Structure 1
Amino acid sequence: MLVERAKVFASAAHAAIGQRRRYTDEPYIVHPAEVAGIVASVGGDEEMIAAAYLHDIVEDTQITQEMILEFFGPSVAKLVEELTDVSRPQDGNRQARKEIDRRRLGNASPRAKTIKLADLISNSTNIIQHDRWFAKVYMQEKKLLLEVLSEGDSSLYQRAQTIVSEYYAEQEARRLLRRGEQDV
């Protein structure tokens, strides 16, 4: 089965380089598995779920896009390609690189955008919970990213928007609370 092959392949590729999940030190495959589960929960097809397992593999491991094509076929390879960041350190600072990747994602298929929404949901939840300092930068990036992901699954888009909105509402509440404490 395609999904099971993608799961095993991604697990092995991420484990081969000793990649662990930041903040929790869990095996990295926990994140792609969560993304795949989110995609499956909204009726994603087998190729989308397989691509969800493989979505970080070209960026993070020694696996190439050509290998994805060879082992998983053109449809999965196309989705992984659409999800793989193309910016490089020489393209400028983080903001400039994220803009390059965001523009590219704007041209991705609705299927790829659905996977990216699942990725955003998984990562945002983890980062907000474990790194409030980085969350300030990350959530601003995700707020901008949502502008190009509206063609993805509507329920995931709404869920991602809610995460971003709730984050900013909480930040504003904290700001007002701090301001109120200073006025006392």
Structure 2
Amino acid sequence: MIFNAIQFAADAHAGQYRKGTNIPYISHPVNVMKTLCQQGCDEETIAAGILHDVVEDTPVTLEMVEQHFGKRVARLVAGASEQDKITDKHLPEPDWKVRKQRTLHHLEQESDLSVLMISCADKLDNARAILHDYREKGEELWSRFKAGKDEQKWYYSSLAGVLVKRGNEHGNPLLKMALELETTVNQIFLS
């Protein structure tokens, strides 16, 4: 299932790159997969981690994910996705901050442990990439995002807080990842 998910995601994300870089986008889901494997997650959670952006960022639908990988993987992908981006792709997206507030609420109130693991691995890889690029590019980095540095600081600090809180509820390995996310976020914004 994991290797099928890698191929499926590679095909879906073909031609996409990480924001402002020449790095093929597939590197991000593969990094999420690596983190989930290292934390001992089950095969369906790992597959959903690989597929976590296919419904948000490509023409792939949740129905297609379910057809190829089953109901649980589709449910996990949906749980780790921004709902506004997967329910009706033809409607305009709500405001960036509204979407992020909904994500925070979902993680804090509704997400199960597998969704929290996927989301934390996703945000941790994003934060690592931001930290790397910030050290290379400095303040100009923020121009590649829809929201600027202050908004990104609010979002990532809030994410770290919610995920550490949920990590305290569930213990390791979620807590370990959430604390690493918090440390990485602090390195980005408090340096």
Instruction: Provide the TM-score with structure 1 as the length reference.
Output: 0.82
Give the match for residue 179 of structure 1. none
Give the match for residue 84 of structure 1. 81
State the SS of the aligned residue for 1:26.
Answer: coil
Superposition misfits of 4+ residues, deviation over 6 angstroms: none
State whether residues 87 and 101 of structure 1, in contact with CA within 8 Å, keep that contact through their aligned partners in structure 2: no
- Equivalent pairs counted in the alignment come to 167
Note the 1:39-78 alignment, pairs <5 A: 39-78=36-75
Post-superposition Cα deviations, 1:12-35, rounded to whole Å, max 9, x if no partner, equal 0111xx211223212110000001
State whether residues 80 and 119 of structure 2, in contact with CA within 8 Å, keep that contact through their aligned partners in structure 1: yes
Instruction: Provide the TM-score with structure 2 as the length reference.
Output: 0.80
2:18 & 2:188 partners in 1: Cα distance? 22
Contiguous gaps of at least 5 residues in structure 1: 171-184
- Please state how far the C-alpha of 1:167 moved relative to its aligned partner: 2.6
1:84 & 1:57 partners in 2: Cα distance? 9
State the SS of the aligned residue for 1:87.
Answer: helix
In structure 2, do the counterparts of structure 1 residues 135 and 122 end up closer, same or farther at CA, with 3 Å as the change threshold? farther
Amino acid at match of 1:147: G
- Please state how far the C-alpha of 1:87 moved relative to its aligned partner: 2.8
Say whether 1:33 aligns with 2:30: yes
Higher mean C-alpha deviation, range 22-31 or range 109-118: 22-31
In structure 2, do the counterparts of structure 1 residues 91 and 13 end up closer, same or farther at CA, with 3 Å as the change threshold? closer
CA RMSD of aligned residues (A): 1.9
The structure 1 residue matched to 2:155, chosen from 141, 147, 168, is 141
- Please state how far the C-alpha of 1:168 moved relative to its aligned partner: 3.3
In structure 2, do the counterparts of structure 1 residues 154 and 25 end up closer, same or farther at CA, with 3 Å as the change threshold? same
Amino acid at match of 1:145: L
Amino acid at match of 1:59: E
Give the match for residue 176 of structure 1. none
- Please state how far the C-alpha of 1:99 moved relative to its aligned partner: 0.7
- Please state how far the C-alpha of 1:110 moved relative to its aligned partner: 1.0
2:104 & 2:93 partners in 1: Cα distance? 14
State whether residues 128 and 135 of structure 1, in contact with CA within 8 Å, keep that contact through their aligned partners in structure 2: no
Contiguous gaps of at least 5 residues in structure 2: 86-90, 143-147, 168-173
- Please state how far the C-alpha of 1:73 moved relative to its aligned partner: 0.6
Post-superposition Cα deviations, 1:79-103, rounded to whole Å, max 9, x if no partner, equal 1010110136756421122112221
State whether residues 5 and 50 of structure 2, in contact with CA within 8 Å, keep that contact through their aligned partners in structure 1: yes
